[in-house]
Chains A and B, each alone.
Chain A
Amino acid sequence: MNKYFRADRMPHMWCPGCGIGTAVNAFVNALDKSGIDQKKLAVVSGIGCTGRVAGYINADSFHTTHGRAIPFAAGLKAASPDTKVVVFSGDGDLMSIGGNHFIHAGRKNMDLLVICVNNLNYAMTGGQVSATTPLTAITATAPYGSFCEPFNLPYIAEATGAVYVARWTVYHVREMQKAIGEALKKKGFCFIELISPCPTLFERRNKMGSGLTRLKFYKENAIVENGADTKKTTLELNKPFIVGKFVDVEGRQTYLDAMNKYYDEKFQCDLNYMTYKGVRSSYNIEEECEGCQND
């Protein structure tokens, strides 16, 4: 597995008990089994703890701006269609500041695999409330508990039209790896949510114990229900929750495939096709335009 990591960047910066490393490990194992050429892989991250993933994976990798990994990846994929583009980032990045990009990439069915490590708060900046913080959970900027319901990520992903939607926790190592492996093989907008502890901030503030305690919680409270209705995949503080593969559909055309198909069918383009509808078309300078030189 060493070839998939930038050894000269180790040790990584994640805290003891954090699940991001486990998620990356699952990704790399899935990648190795997938047969995808490492050269043809691009990893794009935004900002945050999970945003640092791009910096550790030995591939063409891009650490972009906060919330904007998806549109960067969309441009990358458009101009290099044979690259497998994976967006690896956190809940604050992808779903809070970047939520608009997420839904539109799903709508367009951009051929991207989006892996979201959901640790229920903004960790890099010190544990503030995010779009996925459960109601009543305490964070640095919600000292009296969060006042609103969090996003249900699989539900949003399915609503945008994602062709593959799954959720696992970092306790579910094999399932995580299998899901990533399946999604790597699919074409279209794929979304995997990986729930992870943030023992330094979220778990500490909410008196949930260590990373290990949290893994035990996941083991006992994650209900595996493949094909579950994503309306039911909500996350409540310290309550059982659903994990599994929720969406895996075939046949939805990606944006680029639809575009290319249309262009191929409707345009017989060649170098001589040089007119533009709606504007006075050009004419040859030498043959017709002596008069124009005088004006």
Chain B
Amino acid sequence: MKADPRGVLTGIHYLDGDHAACEGALAAGCRYIAGYPITPSTEVVERYASRIPCVGGIFMQMEDEIASSIAIQGAVWAGAKAMTVTSGPGFSLMMEHIGLAVMTEVPCVFINVQRGGPSTGLPTLPAQSDMMQARWGSHGDYEMIALCPNSAQECFDLIITAFNLSERFRTPVMFMMDECIGHMTEKVVIPKAEEISITPRQYTKKSPIEYKAYEPIKDLIPEMAPIGKGYNFHITGLTHDEKGYPAMNEETQHKLVTRLMDKIRNYKKEIIIIEEEYLDDAEVVVMSYGITSRVAEKAMIDARKEGIKVGKARLKTVWPFAEEYVFELSKKVKAIIVPELNAGQIVREVERAAKGNCEVISVPHLGGAVHKPSVIFDAIKRGANRGK
């Protein structure tokens, strides 16, 4: 399906990441946002509130992030594509409803423009320290999809992917920006509506009598039913059977939670996007995401000038983690360098996936600024000096 032209601001723009993400959401067909102001994410909803009368949709500022994160789910069941936007403290408040969206299989998008934490932390300064929270923040076992843009252009492009993945897999998708990406103004090219491909919602073609709300139809995914058409479907956050009715026992729990995880695990290839460069002969690979990948770029240029064979593997999809990819990579290289604006979160995944095949060097930074390229450069050099 092609994008609805009403939401597509075709042209060349000079936008920051927050504004670009808003335009991307509009292009993706997002017609409902419930949100609560929080730095550094607020520009997304400010622009949305201003744009939406002419696109045809609704912005509602709610009383808090808890309300925002469930109001969007009401809107999704009512037929809208919807998202909410927040930063660290608000993201913490949303965790229960991320779990609800997983459990009741609600396609929606959560933007987190990350700032320094814990607690109120650094409202106006960057961090990438919610990466594990995005994966594990809600209670219970589940799989998560999380994408990480590294430019204003990618805020536009990748959030369309986020919406499409949420519809494809009927699951919430985390869009993990950071303060720098949110506030960095760059050129953004918005294509024509007919060049943007949109995944429509999968509504059932069955009659209300035949329809079961949680019967997996294709690729382990059940079909949604439209509201107000006599399907009389029931949705619950309790463990439920295929009819959607509460069934609190071991068998139903096992069957349901396994399916919820497998519908993502089994289709990782469709979800994982990695940007690669100079990997053919690389001895050292820098694996980064978000703003840190932009800083690492400078370190890699410097390292190559010194003759170090350094390659790039940038995670656009952080969750589900590309563990098979990292395992294969680890067999070919001396070291994988993982710079990130946190105490070392994704590096644990890299270590786990590398299974000791190569050196994994963490380059942590607790946020408030980005890395100095020289710090990453030094790590690349350390990696290159390891014997293989």
Contacts and interface: CB of A to CB of B under 8 A. Distances in A.
Contact count band on A: 35 or more
Interface stretch (B66-74, B127-135, B280-288): B66-74
Q: Among B47, B66, B245, find the residue whose CB has the most chain A CB atoms closer than 10 A.
A: B66
Contact of B13 (A9, A59, A101, A279): A279
A82 B47 CA distance: 28
A73 B235 CA distance: 13
Contacts of B73: 64, 72, 75
A54 B55 CA distance: 34
Q: By CB atoms of chain A within 10 A, which of B56, B78, B187, B230 has the most? A: B78
A142 interface: no
Given A282-B11, A292-B187, A82 B234 contact: no
A1 interface: no
Contact of A61 (B19, B80, B232, B246): B232
B78 A267 contact: no
B113 interface: no
B10 A79 contact: no
A62 B106 CA distance: 12
Interface stretch (B57-65, B318-326, B351-359): B57-65
A6 B234 contact: yes
Q: Is the interface of B mostly helix, strand, loop or mixed?
A: mixed
A63 to B, nearest CB: 4
Contacts of A60: 77, 227-228, 231-233
B231 A72 contact: no
A283 B77 contact: no
A45 to B, nearest CB: 9
Nearest to A82: B228
Q: Report, nearest first, the 3 A-B pairs whose CB atoms are least far apart.
A: A282-B11, A75-B74, A75-B71
14 contacts: A8-B245, A60-B228, A61-B234, A63-B235, A65-B96, A71-B63, A71-B68, A71-B70, A75-B74, A80-B228, A276-B47, A280-B14, A282-B9, A283-B11
Interface of B: 5-6, 9-15, 19, 31-32, 34, 47, 50-51, 53-56, 58, 60, 62-64, 66-68, 70-80, 82, 96-97, 100, 187, 189-190, 227-238, 243, 245-246
Given A276-B47, A277-B50, 7 more contacts: A60-B228, A61-B233, A65-B100, A71-B66, A72-B73, A75-B34, A263-B53
